[in-house]
Structure 1
Amino acid sequence: MTTRLGSENEFCWMDLKTRDPGGTAALLSKTLGWRFAVDEKDWRKATRISVDGHPIGGVSDLANPVYPPGTPAHIAFYLAVDDIDRRVEAATAHGARLVVPPFDAGDQGRIATLIDPVGAAFSLWQRHHFPGWRFPPNLAGSPHGMVLACDQPDEARHFYEGTTGSPLLCADFIATVGPGASAPRWELVVAVDDLDSVVRAHDDGQASATWPEETGGRVARWSSPEGLSFLVRRKEQ
């Protein structure tokens, strides 16, 4: 899988939506080496996540009244597109359900949120002044790729290709395994130097690490107590 995350027609950003921003930051700092800090240049004073000085995501507090009561913790992933209105039209024509119509996020870009035909949520991002992911290849702790595990991976792959107009080169679509498979959702693959330390995170009871069958045991799934999860693999040498 070629690393082109952040390019047009690839995923380009994430936002962790949690009811425990402090606890989530502490866990991910310890496990993945991510740095959490308030972005003083942002008028909202938003919390940004970075790796070695490169921004990789944001954090939203679900206690904020903008979120409906009972909204579960989750990670929003943003897919970069050229024309959000045209791509929303293409997505709905290919079977997606529009959840949040396109709107302007200040002068940074435009956002829309949808549910794809297999049931996974995703957002589209048309950038203006905010480009999203920009980091050097093979950086430890950085996004490495995206995975969507579902019962109809071929349908999902064709949907995203039809929506963006080109294949997602940094995304894998894999079939779920077993009757206990979780609901379809996008997950980020993070490349780390020491995979064993991530797997040991469950020893202190603060997080869990499993080896999902659908990945063939090549990666571990790290999950926070709220259920925020990432797929973690060893960094290529």
Structure 2
Amino acid sequence: MTARLGSLNEFCWMDVKTRDLPGTAAFFSKALGWHFAVDEDDWRQATKISVDGHRIGSVSDLADPVYPPGTPAHIAYYLAVHDVDRRVEAATASGARLVVASFDAGDQGRMATLIDPAGAAFSLWQPHRFTGWELPARAAGAPRRMVLACEQPERARHFYRETLGARLECADFVTTHGPAGPGPQWELAVGVDDLDSVLSGDHGPGSVVRAEETEGCPVVRLRSPEGLTIQVRRHNR
């Protein structure tokens, strides 16, 4: 079977953590066509993100007391695994730092959060009732790849292979270029048919922070007013 996002040992979900839900929703809705709406079937009345009727993420309000004061806006990404506790042991043995110990998220799944040796945060997700992404084929704005830019990409690739016991097929490990930013972090790459419209769109000052070629594929990095970034690539590559 061809590996895809959402399958076992691949990234399977994202949670957009923001202090400005209306502003974040307006930005990504306009730039990528994401749809933000309250999930009426969720007792928490959580806001979910969807593309072409398929859910691709959730939204968390950093004003909630559960988050420490000053927590910066960020996007949390989840890796699907068969056994969270076993993979936490493998990750920490390979140099990761445990941030949130394994716990059950109700009947939805079991999770833990870590910092990898490169300095990038990630969460492990053991699905119970909730399995994560079921992605539409070629829908504009749908998750396509995950990208980690860091100083030692091969070392990072090796860490995730040791942690998962399998290779991350739907992830790119690339060398950091240019001045140092907020530090290594996982970044989602989505696909669109018309990349030029993203480039030329009026998304606000500084929202298109870089356009480049990656293995011959044009890439645009969108940046929300809070600094949340998403890569955008043409679908034909």
5 Å-filtered alignment, 1:52-201, equals 52-180=52-180, 182-201=182-201
Residue 236 of structure 1 is matched in structure 2 by 236
Unaligned runs of 5+ in 2: none
Take 2:202 and 2:95, find their aligned partners in 1: how far apart are those partners?
Answer: 39
Greater alpha carbon shift after TM alignment, 194-203 vs 36-45: 194-203
Which amino acid counterpart does residue 210 of structure 2 have in structure 1? T
Overall identity of the aligned pairs, in %: 66
Where in structure 1 do 4 or more consecutive aligned residues deviate above 4 Å? 212-217
Determine the C-alpha separation between the residues in 2 that align with 1:75 and 1:229. 9
Distance 1:154 1:32, change over 3 A: same
* Separation of aligned partners in 2, 1:201 and 1:72: 27
Q: Which runs of 5+ in 1 are unaligned?
A: none
Distance in 2, matches of 1:214 and 1:140, equals 19
> 1:159 & 1:117 partners in 2: Cα distance?
8
Aligned residues: 236
Look up the SS of the partner of 1:16 in the other structure.
Answer: strand
1:80 is matched by which residue type in structure 2?
A
**Residue in 1 that maps onto 2:219:** 219
Check 1:154–1:64 CA distance in 2 against 1; reply closer, same or farther (3 A cut). same
Cα distance in 2 between the residues matched to 1:185 and 1:235: 23
- In 2 relative to 1, CA 200–220 (structure 1 residues): closer, same or farther, beyond 3 Å? same
* Cα distance in 1 between the residues matched to 2:229 and 2:178: 19
Per the normalisation by structure 1, the TM-score is: 0.94
SS of the counterpart of 1:211? Answer: strand
Q: How far 1:181 sits from its partner (Å)?
A: 5.1
Contact 1:187–1:230, Cα closer than 8 Å, also in 2: yes
| Contact persistence 2:105–2:111 (CA under 8 A) | yes
